[in-house]
Amino acid sequence: MARLSVDDYAGQAGGGDEGASEQVRIDDPGYLVGVPDEFQRLWTPHRMVYIQHGQQPGKDDCPFCVAPTMSDEDALIVARGKYAYALLNLFPYNSGHVLVCPYRHFALYDEATPEEVAEIGSITQTAMRVIREVSKNDGFNIGLNQGAIAGAGIAAHLHQHIVPRWAQDANFLPIIAKTKALPQLLGEVRKAIADAWPADEPADRSE
């Protein structure tokens, strides 16, 4: 269908009312912005918080210190141990992106106590097993970004990334558009992982 102008409409309507021709316009929908088409849109408005407010919080606003004071659901925590805990990344690379954090506020891995190192490792292993069970992923990226210069989003509080990977999860979106397709909401992912977490791991939940 060709685009219809004001004059076209006036002519179809009889063309006798100049006032009507100035107030009415009919367009072929193919020319209009927002008309449904074959493209799919990925909406990620939650990332505006990350983009607009920067990556480094103030010393008194560390999210990894605040999270344990909140409910598991509100903080996206999936498991709590004695020295460390696991929670979902609020800005995930993939669905099921888990962070393992010590409760104590420190920046670098070599500042961790032997007990913290042991429990971070134990929780990481359990998280891998649980994520594999829940998500049927094919592999993992696991790593610690040490310091802002190394890409740590929250540089002042140590946290280990556990990112599930699937054989087909690399496509044009992250490569060209810097966009990840995340098929599950964070609350749904948290519940699935928390429900599948073994009741006896971490075994010691005491203070």
Rounded to whole angstroms, the Cα distance separating 17 from 9 reads 11
Upstream peptide bond of 202 is cis (omega within 30 degrees of 0): yes
Tell me if residue 157 is catalytic. no
Q: Which two tokens stand for residue 71?
A: 């409910």
| 15 vs 12: CA distance, rounded Å | 7
Q: How far apart are CA 161 and CA 133, in angstroms?
A: 18
Catalytic residue among 53, 97, 157, 159: 159
Pairing status of strand 84-88 against strand 77-80: antiparallel
**Which residues, 6 or more positions from 144, have their beta carbon under 8 angstroms from its beta carbon?**
109, 158, 159, 160, 161
Strands (E), the chain: 77-80, 84-88, 98-102, 139-144, 160-165
Phi/psi region, residue 145 (left: phi>0; alpha: psi -120 to 50; beta: rest), is beta
d(CA 113, CA 171): 40
Active site residues: 159
